[in-house]
Amino acid sequence: MQEAASVLIVMEDVAQSAMLTERMTTGADADVTLASNLQEAKTLIDAAHFDVILTASSLPDGDGLSILRDDPQQDTPVIVLDEKLDAARVLDALRLGAIDVLPHPTDMTRLVEVVRSTLDDNRQRQRQESRMQRMRRMSNRMMKDRRELRLRIDLICKDIVHAYRRLAEKVVDHAGPSLGSARSDEN
């Protein structure tokens, strides 16, 4: 059984946050952490890892998109809830790296579905990255073993060449006087 995902919900509306928490806990099997403003959210993001961040675009102390804007290297999927849903704002959120932009308030079933899908995609990506790391380690180990094997083969080949030279010298030394007398007998 996999452990529950960690979801950060950044929203000023306490009633909406409570309802989302209940739905995320049961519908998406997630441990939920709440932040009521941007500063609190940034502090939590710096202190802990979250599998998904769900943020309202309008917060009392700033724009929810600044979570994406302030840390463009962040690999945590972010879902934005926007009250206006105008095209420019949606495009801005998507360009910054949001996974999805949904209307706020939104249909809870749809929201849980998007979060669950995002979590599944994230887990799949993590499994794939883990496989790639294992494959890289195996490939590196194979390359190292191949180099060691090549060095051993080179050493064996050098030993064989050296042994053949010594054998050839011994054959010439032993056969030399008898070969010389056999040649003189032929003349």
* pLDDT tens per residue across span 59-74: 888 888 888 888 765 7
Is residue 87 domain-resident? yes
* pLDDT tens per residue across span 7-34: 777 777 666 777 777 777 677 777 888 8
The pLDDT of residue 137 is 96
Is residue 165 domain-resident? no
Measured CA to CA, the distance from residue 174 to residue 187 in angstroms comes to: 22
Query: What is the pTM (predicted TM-score) of this model?
Result: 0.67
Q: What is the mean pLDDT of the chain?
A: 83
Q: H/E/C letters for each residue in 91-122?
A: HHHHHHCCCEEEECCCCHHHHHHHHHHHHHHH
Measured CA to CA, the distance from residue 187 to residue 185 in angstroms comes to: 5
Is residue 86 domain-resident? yes
The pLDDT of residue 139 is 95
* CATH at 43: 3.40.50.2300
Q: Taking the CA atoms of the chain, what radius of gyration do you get in angstroms?
A: 35
DSSP 15: H
Is residue 49 domain-resident? yes
Domain interval for residue 47: 5-132
Sheet of 5-10, strand order = 30-35, 5-10, 52-56, 78-82, 100-103
* pLDDT tens per residue across span 81-92: 888 878 888 998
Is residue 172 domain-resident? no
Is residue 145 domain-resident? no
Amino acid letter, 60:
P
Number of domains in the chain: 1
